[in-house]
Amino acid sequence: MKFSILSAVPALFFSSLVSAQLSGDVGLSNTRASKAAIKVCNILNYGGVASKTTDNGPAIASAWAAGKSGREVYILAGNYRLATWVPLTGGKAVSINLDGIIYRTGTEGGNMIFIEHTTDFEFYSSTSKGAVQVDAGAFHFVMDTCSNGEVYNMIIRGSNEGGLDGIDVWGTNNWIHDIEVTNKDECIIVKSPTSYILIKSIYCNCSGGCATGSLGVDTDIHDIEYNHIYTQESNQMLMIKSNAGSGSVYSCSFNNFMGHSNAYMLDIDGAPCYDITIESFDIWTEAGSEVLYKCENAYGSGPCLSTGTDYTAYAITTHTVTSVTSYSITTMAADFTVGFGLMTSIPIPAIPTSFFPGLAPSSALLG
């Protein structure tokens, strides 16, 4: 499974008083320039070789050890083999500048690059051309118990296979924006426990689609906002999925979803859910003459939702739409019609100028 990573549902609300947003500032306390000014730890000075045949795992680890306190680790332009994984820990006010291309050749499990117990950290490419090529066995990018973070201007391209999540995130006060994902599992997925996450301007391009869950025991997810999500040729535009769990999901908003050629639009898998408000929900079919809404164990206002207040399980109710006015599809130039094969090398793309139709990225590209 080859993989490349490079650095119309307008309103859906849970709870009538939604204020899902960041709870404070995100991003760096110290600029990348200030870290580089102290010292640049070029991996070539720590045993690294710009080569697809020399393992650069030890060199990256050595450069990190030298620069993890207030400095920058630099992987300059070139090709770099990574045969041994690099757990990087204990960093403070440190950055990694990846301008080269890392190629995975190792076969062990776990995370290729694992950064933990680290604060004020940045991973970036000064040229916007840094990349990682990997035969992906599982999730591509994971934010595990992270806080006050920002992820942006990134492309993830994986094979057309389940289990290859794009971005998995749990933590508090994180902003994820201007991301493109191609795979066949979740695009951007929020897991528990999570609070105050803003996910904006996302391009799910032949993907699984965005999701929350699976919701297991003691779920605690709240104050989440998805906004301006474009999804095409995907499993779903949005899915909230349970897994025989407990706990709660509340104060979440899902705004300005747009897409086409998807199997499902909105899928809330679990029950009972209440205080749901669905507004301006406009769906039509590209093949056929009707659209079917199905609701089960869901309470609130909107198509086929129950207005009751007992919040108990109930049988499926349906609503059939046979016509809509002014139907048209908005597309993007880079839309894929098929995913990438399991045994096919995936080319490294250029960062696009937009991740949602008509919307410019929040942050300019470097380089």
Q: Which amino acid is at 216?
A: G
Among this protein's residues, is 260 annotated catalytic?
yes
| Catalytic residue (choose from 165, 168, 185, 223) | 185
* Distance between CA atoms of residues 339 and 308, nearest Å: 43
Beta bridge partners of 2: 135
* Distance between CA atoms of residues 213 and 190, nearest Å: 6
The two counts, helices (H) then strands (E), for the chain are 2, 25
| 62: three-class secondary structure by DSSP | helix
Q: b/e per residue, 309-346, with b = 16+ CB within 10 A?
A: eeeeebeeeeeeeeeeeeeeeeebeeeeeebbeeeeeb
| Catalytic residue (choose from 140, 177, 222, 260) | 260
Neighbours of 205 (CB within 10 A): 25
| 225: three-class secondary structure by DSSP | strand
CA dihedral 268→221→282→305, nearest 10 degrees, is: 50
Active site residues: 185, 260
